[in-house]
Amino acid sequence: MPQISCPNCDSANTCRIMYGMPDYTDKLEHELETGKVHLGGCILTDNDPNRHCNNCEVDFDSKAPNIYLDIDGVLLANDLTPANYAKEFIATVLERYPYTTYWLTTHCDGDASVPIQHIGHLFDAETVELMRQIKPTSWQTAKTRAIDFSRPFLWFDDDLFYEEKETLTKNGVLDNWIEVNLAKDPDHLARFIASFPLPLDVSITG
């Protein structure tokens, strides 16, 4: 079985999280001491993480989708104005997926600090600090070349090129593009705060 890497530090030294009240046997004690299992508490909810990183001590969900964010037309209504509810939307995304959210924008080519330099002055300090959690992508010609199609994902963008739509369609995941239309609905981001979409599972769509 392939190792599951930590999305925070990329370490492969991760283990499963055990919930509930397990019997404290010699085997369990050995697994705890050797980092093969981590105790997660007595109560399990739908949103609890399933993996623990022994390197950086972060708990994470190995099945969390990648989230790809455009800037213009999504977080910004125009060059000088954040979209309505952009701050709350960013907070919602990073609360749900703090380790698997990526910039997918012309303002980022492998350097996550550039988007913040571009739009950070339009947001408060708390939101800018949240933005620092967002990871970079690198791509040429089509944004879809930066998408990992082996994992479920959501892509928030206002418009796609023909090639990008064709690539999503070919992979059976066109519905994972979440079209943001601020011209039609200036409060569009509020919908996702109230009800965050779920991605198609690429392993099911084959």
Structure tokens at 15: 């283990």
166 within a domain of the structure (yes/no): yes
Arithmetic mean of pLDDT, 157-175:
97
d(CA 126, CA 46): 28
Arithmetic mean of pLDDT, 18-22:
87
In 91-184, DSSP assigns E strands to: 101-103, 153-157, 177-179
pLDDT on residue 21: 82
Write down the mean pLDDT value for the chain.
92
Number of domains within the chain? 2
pLDDT greater than 60 at residue 203: no
- Closest Cα partner for 202 from 179, 176, 164? 176
Helix and strand counts by DSSP (H, E) for the chain:
7, 10
- Closest Cα partner for 177 from 143, 150, 134? 143
Whether 55 and 71 map to the same domain: the answer is no
pLDDT (tens digit per residue) in 178-191: 999 999 999 999 99
- Asked if 161 and 122 count as a contact pair (C-beta separation under 8 A), the reply is no
pLDDT on residue 206: 38
d(CA 29, CA 32): 5
Angle at 97 between CA 201 and CA 180, to 5 degrees: 70
pLDDT on residue 187: 98
d(CA 160, CA 143): 9
d(CA 170, CA 155): 16
Is the model more confident about 85 or about 200?
Answer: 85
pLDDT on residue 204: 44
Domain boundary among 60, 83, 98: 60
Whether 156 and 83 map to the same domain: the answer is yes
Domain region containing 25: 14-60
8 within a domain of the structure (yes/no): no
6 within a domain of the structure (yes/no): no
Which CATH number fits the domain that encloses residue 102? 3.40.50
Whether 164 and 80 map to the same domain: the answer is yes
d(CA 176, CA 153): 6
- Asked if 71 and 119 count as a contact pair (C-beta separation under 8 A), the reply is yes
Whether 162 and 188 map to the same domain: the answer is yes
pLDDT (tens digit per residue) in 86-105: 999 999 999 999 999 999 99
Domain boundary among 60, 94, 115: 60
pLDDT on residue 20: 87
pLDDT on residue 95: 94
Whether 36 and 78 map to the same domain: the answer is no
Stretch among 42-46, 147-151, 180-184 having the lowest mean pLDDT: 42-46
- Closest Cα partner for 101 from 154, 59, 160? 154
Whether 104 and 37 map to the same domain: the answer is no
Whether 135 and 166 map to the same domain: the answer is yes
pLDDT greater than 60 at residue 127: yes
Arithmetic mean of pLDDT, 190-194:
97
